[in-house]
Amino acid sequence: MDELDSEIVRLLQTDARQSNRELARQLGIAPSTCLERVRALTRRGVIRGYHADIDLAALNRGVQALVSIQVRPLSRSVLDTFKEFAAGLPEVISIFVLSGGDDFQLHVGVQDLDHLHAFLLDRLSKRKEIAGFRTSVIFQEMSKPTLSRLES
C-alpha cells in the first residue's frame, strides 16, 4: 500500500458510488491508472465490496443492543453451531467471536424494547449451550466514515 492506494481507499470509503473518472480526477491520475489500482486493491483483498449505508430506524429497527454471550461446553462444534444459529436470526446485525470472559458479542437491531426483551427470552434463553448473557442497549452510534492505514 503506497500513498496513492491509501488515498483511493479513503475516497472510496467516503463515496463508493463515484465513477472511476471522478475518482481519477480527484487523485490527479489517468482513469486507466486509477482503474488498475482499484482492481489490484480488490484482487489483494483490501477492497472486499461496496455497501449501502442503511438507516436501521427506517427499517423499523430503532433499538440496537450488544449482547455478550458465554457458551458451554467450550468446543469448536458448540461455537460453530451457535455462530450458525445466530447468523440465521433476523435481529442479528453482526456476530463477533471473542476471547476473554465472553465467547460472542451480538449486535442486534429490533423494533423496540419489548422486541429486544422477547428476542432475549424467546431466542437466546432457550438455547442449552448458552451459560449466560448480558445486554447493553446502544443509545448512540458513531462510525468512522474512513479508516486510515496504520503506519509501521
CATH, domain range 56-138:
3.30.70.920
Model confidence band, residue 145 (pLDDT cutoffs 50, 70, 90): confident
pTM, 2 dp: 0.81
Under a CB-based contact definition with an 8 Å cutoff, are residues 67 and 124 in contact? yes
pLDDT at 60 over 60: yes
Q: Are 108 and 93 in contact, with CB atoms under 8 Å apart? A: yes
pLDDT over 70 (residue 151) = no
What is the percent of the chain where pLDDT is above 90? 86
CA distance linking residue 33 with residue 20, whole number of Å = 10
Rounded to whole angstroms, the Cα distance separating 127 from 48 reads 33
E strand or H helix that includes residue 132: strand 130-138
- Omega before 73 within 30 of 0, i.e. cis: yes
C-alpha cell at 63: 433499538
Separation CA 102–CA 84 (nearest Å): 17
Contact predicate 64/109, CB 8 Å? yes
How far apart (Å, rounded) are the C-alpha atoms in residues 109 and 115? 9
Mean pLDDT of all residues in 127-143: 95
Q: Is the pLDDT of residue 125 over 80?
A: yes
Structural domain 3-43, CATH architecture:
Orthogonal Bundle (1.10)
Provide the residue ranges of all domains of the chain, joining segments of one domain with +: 3-43, 56-138
